[in-house]
Amino acid sequence: MPNPSPASAPQPAPESFSPRHDALLPNAWLVARREFGERVRSRLFVVSTLLLGFLAVSVALTPLLVRVVDRGTTSTIAVVTTDDALAGRTISILDGILNGATSPGGAAAGSGAPPAYAFVHETDSTAITAAVASGRFDGALEEQRASDGRLDFRFVSGPSFGADRAQLVTVGALAVAILDWTATNNQGATAPFLMPSVDVVAATGPTAGGQPIGAAEFSSRRVVGVVFVVLIFITLVIYGMWVAAGVVAEKSSRVMELLISAASPAQLVVGKVVGIGLAGLVQYVGILVPALVTLLLEDRIAGAVLGAGGSLGVDLSVVTPALLAAYGGFWILGFVLYSLVYAAAGSLVSRAEDLQVLALPLSLVAIVGYLLAVGALSGGISTLTRVSSLVPFWSPFIMLTRLTVGQVEPLEVAAAYAFLVSAIALVGVLAVRVYSAGVLLYGQRPGLRAIVGAVVRPPV
């Protein structure tokens, strides 16, 4: 006998009631506090902090390692002028300064080792920047004589040319100017000595509003940019996986059944993202501090390892408070965006093994952003870079790179932040819907249709 009481036929659910509203607080905070405590007390947290700290310090030391490896190679510098005598004097002076500095006595001392720098005389300045950018020359010193006899110098620095060497070249240029003045006034003329202008530009890399950034500053910014981008990529992917793994663990241990009866999906998702995010932040500080200290000490280390003139010229004054604030903002917003996706993805599988299958496609989006950012670090700011730096899933990497190694219009930064916040709001709603349906799923992984169904019509 079906349905004896109190009614016999299903009726549509009436809507004449005030639905329960589950405010995010305090439950989201309780969930966050539990997640934070569990993470920072775990052995995995301590071990991964040490490993990532080691990795960050290694990245920070990369320029120094490259310099150590390159010690045996010869860099070629073009001296570009139509004045043969001037070219001869310039090569002579630069040879003494650069080769003399790297190896006391230099090639002239007969040490047997090849000189660190070789010089060639070029007369055509039209394509010299392209020649340096392509790697044909490691640097090029252009010399032009003004109508009043003053010499103007422009040094085009290649990607492998250290900032400290560029400074030595500027010193050399001054010496060339003095020698030139002496040579042209040795007949008793009394023309006054005019200070030469020396401009140092990078052959590749960022252009701030069409103006190249100085090689020394660019070098420093690039080191900082590499450290920032590598760290943000690694931590976003790792902490995102923490979120997904946390959801899967709650499903596989079946504690989820209790959780979803005591808290709303939004409270659970937000709490998990915040709790793991805070744990990540703690770890992040633990990683970043030794990396920054390494950068601060890198010149001294380089001096000790490479001897006099081994300075890398890495100048941390480029790490301005504004840059750090932008970095912190992109890290937090990027983490929130990615971890929302990871939380939704984690809810769709029941076992930790299944999560491994999702790990690669989940990190692919971040990998694309990372690669574009690394490309921007060394290849300049293209239209693709400019556009992709506004895309929410990529802006934490690419806009950060642009901010680090170049100048960005404030409107572009504001737009990137606005798009990122909007994306978080949208992805947050979708993620909570997928999570609501996903945490009740046990068995096979749901197909795309089931996921779309959950998004369109959530179970609660």
- Residue 243 Cβ, how far from another protein at the closest point, in Å? 16
- Distance in Å, CB of 271 to another protein, minimum: 10
| Interface stretch with another protein, choices 51-59, 74-82, 281-289, 433-441 (CB under 8 A) | 433-441
Given candidates 178, 234, 260, 421, which one binds another protein under the rule CB under 8 A? 260
**Other Cβ atoms closer than 10 A to 378:** 13
Q: Kindly report each contact of residues 259-266 with a partner whose C-beta sits within 8 Å and lies 24 or more positions away, as own/partner.
A: 260/439, 260/440, 262/27, 263/22, 263/27, 263/31, 264/22, 264/27, 265/432, 265/435, 265/436, 265/439, 265/460, 266/22, 266/24, 266/28, 266/432
Q: 372 phi and psi, to 5 degrees? A: -60, -40
Q: Which is nearer to another protein, 27 or 389 (CB)?
A: 27
- Nearer to another protein by Cβ, of 146 and 255: the residue is 255
How far from 262 is each of 22, 431, 457, CA to CA, in Å? 11, 19, 22
Q: Give the β-pairing of 139-145 and 117-122.
A: unpaired
User: Phi and psi dihedrals of 232, rounded to 5?
Assistant: -65, -35
Among 105, 382, 444, 452, binds another protein (CB under 8 A): 444
> Measured from the CB atom, is 315 or 354 closer to another protein?
354
Please report, as residue ranges, which positions from 1 to 60 form the binding site for another protein (by CB under 8 A).
1-14, 17-20, 22, 26-27, 30-31, 34, 38
CB of 6 or CB of 210, closer to another protein: 6
Question: Judged by CB under 8 A, which of 183, 255, 325, 364 binds another protein?
Answer: 255
Site residues (CB under 8 A) for another protein, limited to 263-292 = 263
Which of positions 70-129 make contact with another protein (CB under 8 A)? none
Identity of the residue, 47 or 289, whose beta carbon is nearer to another protein in the bound complex: 47
Min dist. Cβ of residue 60 to another protein (A): 35
Q: Indicate the residue among 34 and 300 with the shorter CB distance to another protein.
A: 34
Q: Where are the alpha helices (DSSP H) in 145-264?
A: 163-184, 215-252, 255-262
State which of residues 215, 216, 256, 270 lies at the interface with another protein (CB under 8 A). Answer: 256
CB of residue 351 to another protein, shortest distance in Å = 9
What amino acid is encoded at 358 in this protein? L
Q: Is 261 in the site for another protein (CB under 8 A)?
A: yes
Strand boundaries in 5-129, DSSP class E: 75-80, 117-122
Nearer to another protein, 254 or 300 (CB): 254
User: Measured from the CB of residue 262, what is the shortest distance to another protein in angstroms?
Assistant: 4
SS3 call for 264: coil
Question: Closest Cα partner for 310 from 158, 104, 55, 133?
Answer: 104
Cα torsion angle, 38, 39, 41, 47, sign: positive
- Asked if residue 311 lies in contact with residue 302, where contact means CB atoms within 8 angstroms, the answer is yes
Exposed, middle or buried, 370 (CB in 10 Å: 0-12/13-18/19+)? Answer: buried
Q: How far is the CB of 437 from another protein (least distance, A)?
A: 8
Q: Which of 109, 258, 357, 384 binds another protein (CB under 8 A)?
A: 258
- Report the C-alpha gap between 336 and 82 in whole angstroms: 59
Cα distance between residue 39 and residue 409, in whole Å? 39
| Contact pattern for another protein over residues 332 through 371, marking x by CB under 8 A | ----------------------------------------
Q: What is the number of other CB atoms lying within 10 angstroms of the CB of residue 66?
A: 12
The Cα 297–Cα 61 span in angstroms is 10
Nearer to another protein, 112 or 447 (CB): 447
List 136, 145, 386, 445, residue binding another protein (CB under 8 A)? 445
Tokens of 145: 């004589």
- Rg of the chain on CA atoms, in Å: 30
Nearer CB in complex with another protein: 38/83: 38
CB of 454 to another protein, least distance (A): 10
Site for another protein in 215-254 (CB under 8 A): 253-254
Binding site for another protein (CB under 8 A): 1-14, 17-20, 22, 26-27, 30-31, 34, 38, 253-263, 437, 440-447, 450, 458-460
